[in-house]
Structure 1
Amino acid sequence: MFCNKNQGEKETKTTNSQYEAGVYTSQVTLNGNPMEISVTLDNNHINAITVTNVSDTISTMYPLVQPAFDDIANQIVDSQSVKNVKFSKDSKYTYTMLYDAIVDTINKGKK
């Protein structure tokens, strides 16, 4: 009797969750140089957004990539939403490319 009630409660919590918990990744290629975006989700939160494998070539040729990525990631994690992210006017293309890649990665974990 109590087992059924607990299972029912667990199902309710699971069905109300926004994400499938886990780490989701995607690759972005910038001028032939790949970098990997990782998004860590739990059932209802975006816990972390990171970029790895940023080559020295990308860092040298595109110095705004890392600061733009960090800005977007911080805005999303702080607000827990991909809406109303503010882009820098000076590097709108970089922001747009990174934002789209982050949103695509987050969407992999959406229910």
Structure 2
Amino acid sequence: MNSKTKIIVLHMKEIIYTVIFATLGILILCLLFFMFSGDRHSSVSDKKYTPGVYTSSFTLGNEDLELEVSVSDTSINSIRISNLSETVTAMYPLLQPSLENLADQICKSQSLDHLTLSSDSPYTSQLLLNTIRDALKKAAATN
């Protein structure tokens, strides 16, 4: 019998580095896979709103105003006052800036939580926020 024994010497440090780098490589590949292979079709459970434009009314002084909220299946697209006259703008000059501030925050965060109300007009901002909330209740998808 002719047997040649081969002895392989491995340093423990090299084995540990190899295992760590292999694990990191697999982790990065899994992360890339999950990032770029997301669900391409939204399911019924992902639907938050029924697409459309929903209105809610509020009163300032003697003027009745309508606030419009435009939504798609999953997001709030825009918020505006539909019948804003020059008289109302002159009487309530902070109305439009307050609405723009709230609309920007809501459209970016897609939530009514943790909003920063204007310090110049907190009551107007709260009135607008309640009106937006009412319009979004009408837009909520029924599953």
Q: Same fold (TM over 0.5)?
A: yes
Q: TM-score, normalised by structure 2?
A: 0.66
Distance in 2, Cα, partners of 1:78 & 1:46:
9
Distance in 2, Cα, partners of 1:56 & 1:69:
16
**Correspondence for 1:3:** none
**Displacement, 1:101?**
0.5
Any idea what SS the aligned residue of 2:81 has?
strand
Could you tell me which amino acid in structure 2 is paired with residue 64 of structure 1?
L
Distance in 2, Cα, partners of 1:89 & 1:15:
38
Q: TM-score, normalised by structure 1?
A: 0.83
Could you tell me which amino acid in structure 2 is paired with residue 56 of structure 1?
E
**Displacement, 1:13?**
1.2
Could you tell me which amino acid in structure 1 is paired with residue 49 of structure 2?
Y
* Cα distance per residue 1:21-67 (max 9 Å; x no partner): 11111121111112211111111111111112112221111100000
1:38 matches 2:48: no
Could you tell me which amino acid in structure 2 is paired with residue 97 of structure 1?
L
Quick one: higher RCO (CA 8 Å, sep 6+), 1 or 2?
1
**Correspondence for 1:81:** 111
Residue of 121, 131, 135 corresponding to 1:91: 121
Q: Which runs of 4+ in 1 moved over 6 A?
A: none
**Correspondence for 1:14:** 44
**Displacement, 1:90?**
2.0
**Correspondence for 2:77:** 47
- Equivalent residues, number: 101
**Displacement, 1:15?**
3.2
Any idea what SS the aligned residue of 1:24 has?
strand
Instruction: Find the structure with the greater CA-based Rg.
Output: 2
Q: Greater strand share, 1 or 2?
A: 1
Tell me the C-alpha RMSD between the 2 structures. 1.5
